[in-house]
Amino acid sequence: MTQASTQQKRTALITGASSGIGLEFAVILARQGFDLVLVARSRTSLAALAERLREEHAVRVDVFACDLSSTATADRLFHELLEQNITIDVLINDAGFAMQGPFVDNDESNLVDMLQVNIVALTQLTRAFLPGMVKRGHGRILNLASIGSFMPGPLMASYFASKAYVLSLSEALANELRGTGVTVTALCPGPTRTKFAQRARLSDTKAFRGTLMEASDVAREGFEAMMKGKTVLITGFKMRMQMFPTPLVPRRLLAMFARQYHETTGARGEGADAARRWTPAADEPQASQIAH
**What positions carry a catalytic annotation?**
159, 163
In angstroms and rounded to an integer, the radius of gyration of the C-alpha atoms of the chain is 18
Residues 86, 82: Cα–Cα separation, whole Å: 6
- 252 residue type, one letter: R
Query: How far is the first Cα of the chain from the last one, in angstroms, to the nearest whole number?
Result: 29
Q: What is the DSSP letter of 135?
A: H
Max Cα distance, the chain (Å): 56
CA torsion, ordered 14, 18, 19, 25, to nearest 10 deg: 30
Q: At what angle do helices 43-57 and 20-31 cross, to 10 degrees?
A: 20
Q: Give the whole-angstrom CA distance, residue 225 versus residue 223.
A: 5
- The answer to whether 41 and 285 are in contact (CB under 8 A) is yes
